[in-house]
Structures are given as C-alpha cells and as structure tokens.
A and B are shown apart, each in its own frame.
Chain A
C-alpha cells in the first residue's frame, strides 16, 4: 500500500520562465488524459485535456504533450506567474466501460517572484 505522507516531486521556477511538469502513466489502455491544478484547501481545477489520438494540444499559456510510446505526459506552462503555484496532477481514464479517473501523485510547482 501507499506510505503516509507522500513526498511530492517539486519544481521551483522564476516568474516569467516556462515550466514543464512531467507525468508517467502505467495503463497502456488509457485513452483520455487530463491535467488538474490543485491549490491548497481546494478541489482539483481542470486545466487541459488530450485524447490518445493526439500528441499535442494547446490552451491559453498551457500545452500538453502525449507520448504513447513511452507512456509519458507533460504540461508546459508559458511565462509562469505566481498564481500558477499549486500542485499539478495528471489523471487518466481507460475509456470503454471505465468511468474513473486515476490520478498521479502530483508535482508541487513554486513560482518565485
């Protein structure tokens, strides 16, 4: 089982820099992926999603890249701002009759002014 007090990977960047947050997923059957942002004491907030028939998708200041060959997902945030400081989770859905999202362990992003 999981240990208590999960130690999050952390990323510290300067305001204005670009940030890249990585996620490895394990289920090769997953066909839908989402990035969520979670600020302290709040619920996960949707950022961007991507389906397995794509390898890149862009939003406002964010880009998600999907590499199915190595089962890797990344979130790029351009011109990172202090308000971007949060824990970022990737989540996957297997599709078909599977309803649930399986979350990764998260990365703590700290933006220094």
Chain B
C-alpha cells in the first residue's frame, strides 16, 4: 500500500540554524501539505502546495518558512532560522485531489535547543 514517507524521523538543531524536513508524497498525488503538532496539542495546518506553488498557508507559515518540490518525488519544508517554539512534530500529507482524503506521513520530530 502506498504511503507518505518522511526523513529524518528526529532532528535536533540549535536555535537560529536552518533545517530542511523532507517528504516523499504518494506517487500519483498532486496536492501536498505540511502540518505541525506541538506536544499535547492539536494538529495545525501550515501550508498546502499544488502545481508548484503555495495554494494556501496559515498565519504560522511566516517568511521563516518555505516549501519546495525540487524534483518529481520530494517535497521539503525549510525553516530558515529556527526558534525554540518551532519544536514540534511536523507531518507531511498528500492527496489525489483537493477535496479528497489527505494521507499523513509518520512525522519528523524537530527539537530546537
């Protein structure tokens, strides 16, 4: 069964450093998403991406964040200068269509020290 994969599973970084979180969406999907979940809290939407551009983003997704689909299979989230409050689980998701089910990856746990 096809699934979304994410690497690394855990990333530890120093405050102010740049991090790149990587995702491989399900191969025939066209819509890609990043969400985050701070420990013990709800899953929160960050950004959606379709046709090589951002289609929607939340207030959390400020200019420190960027997304890219560098090739036909990877989808990345970059945080330029990490802050302590960026510590969270980051989930990538993909869907075949906008109104269809979003399938989530296992997540990357980001720890900012």
A residues neighboring B (CB under 8 Å): 2, 4-6, 31-32, 34, 36, 41-46, 49, 89, 91, 93, 95, 97-106
Interface of A is mostly: loop
Chain B interface size range? 20 to 34
- Determine if A93 and B99 form an interchain contact, defined as CB atoms under 8 angstroms apart: yes
Tally of A-B Cβ pairs under 8 angstroms: 62
- Determine if B91 and A100 form an interchain contact, defined as CB atoms under 8 angstroms apart: no
- Determine if B91 and A43 form an interchain contact, defined as CB atoms under 8 angstroms apart: yes
Nearest A residue to B48 via CB reads: A99
Give 27 CB contacts A-B under 8 Å. A4-B41, A5-B40, A6-B40, A6-B41, A6-B42, A32-B99, A41-B107, A42-B107, A43-B4, A43-B91, A43-B104, A43-B106, A45-B104, A46-B102, A46-B103, A89-B43, A93-B99, A95-B99, A97-B56, A99-B50, A99-B56, A101-B33, A102-B45, A103-B42, A103-B43, A103-B44, A104-B42
Q: How far is the CA of A89 from the CA of B50 in the complex (A)?
A: 25
